[in-house]
Amino acid sequence: MLRKKFWFSITLMMVFAALMMAGCGSKETTTPAPADPPKTNGDAGKSEPGKTASKTLEDIQKRGKLVVGVKYDTKLFGLKDPGTGKVEGFDIDMAKALAKKILGDENKVELKEVTSKTRIPLLKNGDIDMIIATMTITEERKQEVDFSDVYFKAGQSLLVKKGSPIQSVTDVKKGVKVLAVKGSTSTDNIRKKSPDATVLEFENYQEAFTALKAGQGDALTTDNAILYGMMKQDPNYQVVGGTFTDEPYGMAIRKGDTGFVTYVNDFLKAMKASGEYDKTYEKWIGEKPAP
């Protein structure tokens, strides 16, 4: 009886040991060999020690294209020429430079149209990898997206027809109609500054400017840099009164992708160090950025 029990335990132990070994063996043989890093002329494939991985960067690399949400309605930053179909501006050049850094080719970029209202939902949905679209970094927006470091400094101002009695925000009182764009910081800011004025909201900046020219309002309000673009489009209009807010622009990135934020900030630093940033700034804004 005792003998039987002894042999039974020995058999059990051997079966158990065999199973364990089989388990280990199968694990070894089914683990796929690590894939080669993707071949690229850019440097997204490089794994730099100490840097966090980025889901967005991986996706861009796999697809071979960077998809950026940009404005189509904003001269100097992102404006589509209806004749050529080309979208051009400071933000567009920034997007191209980033595509060059990631993929080795500035043409490997898809420029998808966003408006002030649609940009955050499109980023959250995954329709775009990032936003480069005259977007102010605010605490409220930080709840929904992450931002790069500041890449452009603007401030809110007013555009009026030459000869207008409105010369600064203090003239925007009861009875004055101000035009602005939905989803922009400008609508909230003007309501705070001039609570008695009437604010009319439009889908995009070209619509708002067309409305101003049609006499539907007394002034158009948004960032000075955007208003300078409109002034170039029609010199009968002028920017007045200086700025009454700070609007630091950031590139918006899907919340939580800190690896991509770091990557974009390194890109901005390198662009500034090489002088390419200043060149691009001067090309669109007509002067060197303030130090």
The residue ranges that bind ligand GLU (CB under 6 A) are 116, 133-136, 181, 184-186, 222-223, 247
Provide the minimum distance between the beta carbon of 170 and ligand GLU in the complex, in angstroms, as a whole number.
21
Beta carbon nearer to ligand GLU, 56 or 116:
116
Provide the minimum distance between the beta carbon of 223 and ligand GLU in the complex, in angstroms, as a whole number.
5
Contact residues for 68 (Cβ-Cβ < 8 A; gap 6+)? 95, 98, 109, 110, 111, 112, 128, 129, 130, 131, 132
Please give the structure tokens belonging to residue 62: 């796999």
Beta carbon nearer to ligand GLU, 134 or 194:
134
Provide the minimum distance between the beta carbon of 229 and ligand GLU in the complex, in angstroms, as a whole number.
11
Beta carbon nearer to ligand GLU, 54 or 148:
148
Beta carbon nearer to ligand GLU, 58 or 188:
188
* The three-state (H, E, C) secondary structure of 33-56, written as one string: CCCCCCCCCCCCCCCCCCCCCCHH
Beta carbon nearer to ligand GLU, 44 or 120:
120
Contact residues for 195 (Cβ-Cβ < 8 A; gap 6+)? none
d(CA 1, CA 135): 84
Count other C-beta atoms under 10 Å from residue 221's C-beta: 30
Residues recorded for the chain: 291
Which residue lies nearest ligand GLU, judged by its C-beta?
184
Provide the minimum distance between the beta carbon of 34 and ligand GLU in the complex, in angstroms, as a whole number.
42
Provide the minimum distance between the beta carbon of 285 and ligand GLU in the complex, in angstroms, as a whole number.
15
